[in-house]
Structures are given as structure tokens and as C-alpha cells.
Amino acid sequence: MRILTGIQPSGKLHIGNYFGAMKPAAELQDKGDAFIFIANYHAMTTVQDGPALREMTADVALDFLACGVDPERTALYRQSDVPEVHELAWLLSVVCPMGLLERCHSFKDKVAKGISPMHGLFAYPVLMAADILAPQANVVPVGKDQKQHVEVTRDLAVKFNNTYGEVFTIPEPSIRENVAVVPGIDGQKMSKSYNNTIEIFMEGKPLKKRVMSIVTDSKELEDPKDPETCNVFALYKLLSTDEEQAALAERYRAGGLGYGHAKLELLEKINEHFAPMREKRRELAGNMDYVEDVLKAGAEKASALARETLQKARQAVGLA
């Protein structure tokens, strides 16, 4: 089984990224041939500052390595180091119906938030399809909001295969439903676009301030509270055992637990969970030559597969 996932370097990675993509990717390393790409071409739709993009790309590499990605078991690489995906994206674009892209909710959502409706944003799903199909991935771990883009990939692969012959593996999305949507501090989906994130490697007072700003209802300290409707509890569940969750839920329902107390317990869990990763990241940041070697090795592995796929596609369409 070949597993592939990617993430944009468009800002500091947060808890939603960790539980939605990074942790599942690390867990899948033992289940197949794993590939993770840093989607720096995709990030250009929102990041148009060269030095910033370069820095954020390096940050994502550090974050993934610190969070459990093992370069001995996973090919970690920059999207820009596998240029074959661009020619493949063009080959897919000639079989891509306009209506398929017009139905993509991500484009409409981003335009509604004020992002310029550029071609790159509109055609994003075609390049994403090329990213997935180039290494012939079987499984694509994604957040719930990206499921539609994997469905577009499947549609394009089927249409290309039906038109030109069997070239592409049809991938399946993998979504962990219990963390499909991680709430941000305002209760919406945690997203850099909403500025409502809790960053993975944030520490000290900035982290405490972020956690203490999580939106809750107006119930008083002594009032019973419903843990299942509380953003604080939703995040606590991701970081705790079943027994710890049950104990905190009981305190919610009994009354006498203030949201401030619950937030401090969440803060403790965040620090406990991410402290070893923070230390590892500091060590890696002091050896960027190693990180660069990891990225180059990952790109070589991904490019070898992409070249094979591209050659098959070129032959199928009559370019070779």
C-alpha cells in the first residue's frame, strides 16, 4: 500500500494539522510505503513572499520530523523538487471538466473570504490530483475539508484511464472521523485562514494566552456544563485517555468546575504531549544540513516514481 499526504507551508502548524494529518501519517509509516510532500507550489496561492515561503517550508520539514516522521520509513520532500507533477497536471487538465472545478467548495470558500480568484486557486485540485497520482498512491490521509479534492482526483484518474487506457491507480481518502474537524479557539474549524489556531510548538505565556482565549458559553462556576458542546473539552479529548475524559466529563456535569480550570487542564495536556517534540525540533533546527539531506532523498524517491508515471501518461496521450 502506498500512502501519500501533503500540507501547505502557509503558516505555523497547529493542533488541527497534527491530529488531522501529521499524527495519522506517522502512524501509517508501518502500514505501507509512505510519502509526505510539503506543498510549496500550492502555498503560492496565499503566500506571495519568497523569503517567507522559504522559511515556512523549512519550518514544516522540521515540524514533521519532530512529530514522528521517520525518514527511514517515509519519503519527506518539497513539492517543488518533483517538477514532473506539473506536466502531469497539464495532462490531467485536458480531461478535466470545468464544472468539476466550479463545484469545489474550497475555491468558493476562499474567494468568499477575500482571496483573489486567481487561476492557481481555481486549478488547485488538478495540481493536487497530479501530486497524488504521480507516485500512484493508494491511500490519501486528509482532513474532512479536503475529501472533495481527493474525489476530484479519483474522477480525473477514472476519466483519463477511460480516455487513454489504464495509467493511474485510483486512490482512496482516509479520514479519521473522530478528528475530522478540530475546533479552533473560536469554535470554528481550526485553520490558519481564521487565525484561530493553537500552534504545535508554541510555549509559555503565548500558549497559555491562546488556550485561555478559547470561546465558551456564559455558565457560572457552580453551573453544570455539557462537555460535548464545549470547545475546551473537544480539544482535551484529543490529548487524553478514555479514563481522563470520563473523569473530566463527570466534573463538567456535576458543576463547580469553571471553564478557566478546564482550560488549565487542557494547557497541561498540550505541554505534556508536545514537550518531547519541542525538544527534538530544537535539536533538528541546529542541524539543517541533515534536514536538507532528508528532503533531497525523499524527492529522489518521489521523482523516480513520478517519472515512471509521467512516461506512461505521455505514451498514452501520444507525446512519446
Task: List, by residue number, the catalytic residues.
Answer: 110, 189, 192
Q: Are 134 and 167 in contact (CB under 8 A)?
A: no
The torsion angles phi and psi of 183, rounded to 5 degrees, stand at -75, 145
**What is the rounded CA–CA span in Å between residue 145 and residue 209?**
28
Kindly give, in sequence order, each residue whose CB lies less than 8 Å from that of residue 199, ignoring residues fewer than 6 positions away.
12, 13, 14, 15, 207, 210
- Closest by CA to 2, choosing from 293, 314, 297, 305, is 305
What span, in angstroms and rounded, lies between the C-alpha atoms of 242 and 170?
Answer: 36
Which of 293, 314, 295, 291 shows the shortest CA–CA distance to 303? Answer: 295
